[in-house]
Amino acid sequence: MRVAALAGLLASAGAVSCGAQVPFPEAIRLAVRNSPRVKAAENDLAKAQAGVSVASDMYIPSVNVGGGAGYSYGIMLTVPTVFTVNAQSLVFSMQQRQYVRAAHSDVRAAQFALDEVKQQAEEDAAVTYLSLATAQQTAQALDEQYEVAMKLAAIMQDRLHANLESELEVRKYQRGALQIKLGKMQAEDNADDLRAHLAELTGIAPDELKLASQSIPLISAASASGYGSNATSVNTPGIEAAAASDEAKELRAKADREYTWRPQVSFGANYGRVSPIENVNQYYNLNGIYNVYSVGVAVQFPLLDLVRRDAAKESRLDTERSQMDLASLRSDEIAGRRKLQRSLPELATKAELADVNYEIAQDELGDVEAQSQHATGGPMVTPKEVENAHIEERQKYVEMLDAKLQARKAQITWMRLTGRLDGWLTGLSESAPASR
């Protein structure tokens, strides 16, 4: 089964590496899997989990075995042994209890931090995928617009030769064609940069990365809802991670304060085999007993420890600073979220307006083309007017693409900030309807 699964994985990877189309959900998954930040966050989580084990293992006896042989003369300061076995552990400590709780808070903070990094990677990949798809459409539209502009410039040149246009008008149209050419070059450069970034996110070579535009899903109203709700009060995983980290620091500060005047109970056990070759009987009355052992518990009450006291003061100040940073972070995020919340309906309206403008430009182009063919019985239009209508229609199309992209990017960011991004991405499938 493992061999079959590996073969399937390699076949899938081979299909992608050979230049197959990468659907939108697959690009998100690859971006999360390949993200160095996600891997670093997973490492931090594993480290925090190991920290819990370190704090909890203080209650598990540690066992040491040692031995040796040698020569001695005179009264020995300690009874020589062939080998010894020692075991000791902590039984009860108010301080250690707080350290264990702090370690668990570190795990929660690391888990929230991992969730935050994953969502940021998902957002980055989703926005880049949408931006690249839009950039490709924009570059294609500008390429078509440039061809029309060059045709129009040639028409204007002919009209100049026929003394129907002034040289100034011809230069203006030539300038317009160059402006469109510049916009086309910039759009292609932007598409190349986005492709390189998406390739870096997914781990696919830029030359082999092909988008499946039909897999780009719509963003439902339910997913991007929350315009008038209390969505600004929802904590992101980043805020939750900071809060859990602050709690861990507070617990450690409490542990440092509880060191003195708190009982500490420890367990100890020892076994030793007294050396029979170093004349021990000349100085000690062993009565033939060479196996010695002891077991018991010890209780101590720390009364004064200036080092611990100063450490408690340092940790308390660190906790206060952490609380201030958390409050500042939460305030900044709420302010940014409110600003984004207000911009969502504005961007949606701009996208709707750009869509209407594009439809109007299409209708006007259709009317002009019909008049140029004398299909409407209206006034005759010149080739110049037809090409101008083509240029205007392509321009409105580009503006519509940009307006819709800005609205979708804001919606994706809003879903991440309100905890809806994971649910939206989970429900995606390759058969999702394409965005238009």
SS3 sequence of 152-169: HHHHHHHHHHCCCCCHHH
Instruction: Decide which of 280 and 61 is more confident.
Output: 61
Q: Name the band, by pLDDT with cuts 50, 70 and 90, for residue 388.
A: confident
Residue 9: pLDDT over 50: no
pLDDT at 221: 66
CATH at 180? 1.20.1600.10
CA distance 111 to 52: 14
Residues 287-333 have pLDDT tens digits of 778 888 999 999 998 888 888 889 889 999 999 999 999 999 999 99
Q: Is residue 17 part of a domain?
A: no
| Stretch among 136-140, 166-170, 375-379, 416-420 having the lowest mean pLDDT | 375-379
Question: What percentage of the chain reaches a pLDDT higher than 90?
Answer: 54
pLDDT at 379: 67
pLDDT at 376: 56
| Stretch among 10-24, 79-93, 347-361 having the lowest mean pLDDT | 10-24
Identify the sign of the CA torsion 222, 224, 228, 233: positive
pLDDT at 37: 95
pLDDT at 36: 95
Helices 306-372 and 237-257, axial angle in degrees (round to 10): 180
The DSSP symbol for 85 reads: E
Residue 2: pLDDT over 50: no
Structure tokens at 137: 């459409």
Q: Is residue 5 part of a domain?
A: no
Residue 129: pLDDT over 80: yes
What's the whole-number average pLDDT of the chain? 85
Q: Is residue 136 part of a domain?
A: yes
pLDDT at 434: 41
Q: Is residue 12 part of a domain?
A: no
- What's at 340, amino acid-wise? L
Q: Is residue 155 part of a domain?
A: yes
Can you give the residue range of the structural domain that contains 306?
A: 22-217+231-426
| Stretch among 3-12, 212-221, 320-329 having the lowest mean pLDDT | 3-12
What does the longest C-alpha to C-alpha distance in the chain come to? 134
Residue 7: pLDDT over 60: no
**Overall average pLDDT of the 148-174 stretch:** 82
Query: What's the alpha-carbon Rg for the chain, to the nearest Å?
Result: 37
- What's at 331, amino acid-wise? S
Report CA 359 to chain centroid distance, whole Å: 38
CA distance 428 to 25: 6
Relative to beta strand 21-22, strand 62-67 is unpaired
Residues 359-368 have pLDDT tens digits of 999 999 988 8
Q: Is residue 6 part of a domain?
A: no
DSSP 3-state of 345: helix
**Overall average pLDDT of the 164-180 stretch:** 84
Q: How many domains does the chain have?
A: 1
Q: Name the band, by pLDDT with cuts 50, 70 and 90, for residue 13.
A: very low
Residue 353: pLDDT over 80: yes
Beta bridge partners, 411, equal: none
The DSSP symbol for 35 reads: -
Q: Is residue 7 part of a domain?
A: no
Residues 68-122 have pLDDT tens digits of 877 777 667 777 888 899 999 999 999 999 999 999 999 999 999 999 999 999 9
Q: Is residue 266 part of a domain?
A: yes
